[in-house]
Structure 1
Amino acid sequence: MAEKNPTEDMVSMFMNFGKDMKLPSPDLEALVARHKKNLEALDTASKTAGSGASTIMARQREMVQQALDEISAMADNLKAGGDPQSLMTAQAEFAKRSFEMAIKNTSEIAALAQSSSTEAFKVLQQNMQETLEEARKAMTQTTKK
């Protein structure tokens, strides 16, 4: 004689309990469809976030290249020589430009990150609203029957 799996007995017990109590049975196809939509939303959100991260990295690469170009240009100016007063003025101007550029770049990167996060969140938020609406409809249809 084959022994019964205790897990199967427990599942059967709960299924019979639901039938005995005349509880509505869930629409499994609708649940699977909703779960598929949830996974698609997560996929879309992760692709959006990944795209945003790629954009940020590309922009940071451009910023570093720009900074290196400016440093190289300043080094060339220093090699040319000149009086100490003009060299000090050029260095002060470079430091000022570098500081202003760092603030501008930081703000730009923060805006890109916020935009990417906002887009990904909107995808998940829309999906959650759809899920809640479907659940509300399912509950109102079940109580009307």
Structure 2
Amino acid sequence: MAGEDTERHEVPDIGADASSQLLEGLEKWTEYQVWVRAHTDVGPGPESAPVRMKTREDAPSAPPQDVHLVSLSSTSLKVSWVAPPAASRHGAIVRYTVSYQAMAGEDTERHEVPDIGADASSQLPEGLEK
């Protein structure tokens, strides 16, 4: 199982009429295995076979790391980065977006380079103002 907490937890005192239980506060994009057992006044019975399931993906909780710029020409910069830390990805990274904005000059509007593949670790915004 992924994640930091691999200790086995138990939900106590589920009523005899129950046939389901909501498990909350779990880690994102983490595989869990679950067992169920019935109890009588004498004690617990055997556990069910374990059932495994992974919680759903979520957006990354940390940004890409080590972002660097290199000036390649009078109108282009190369931006490079390292993927967010594995523990903060909460799923498979499928793409990146690079945004850029001139700090002075005629065009100070924010621009975006969309749909950069997940396997990319750099991008060249072209046509920057001289």
TM-score, normalisation: structure 2? 0.24
Choose between structure 1 and 2: higher strand proportion: 2
Larger Rg: 1
Choose between structure 1 and 2: higher helix proportion: 1
TM-score, normalisation: structure 1? 0.22
- 1 or 2 for the larger relative contact order (CA 8 Å, sep ≥6)? 1
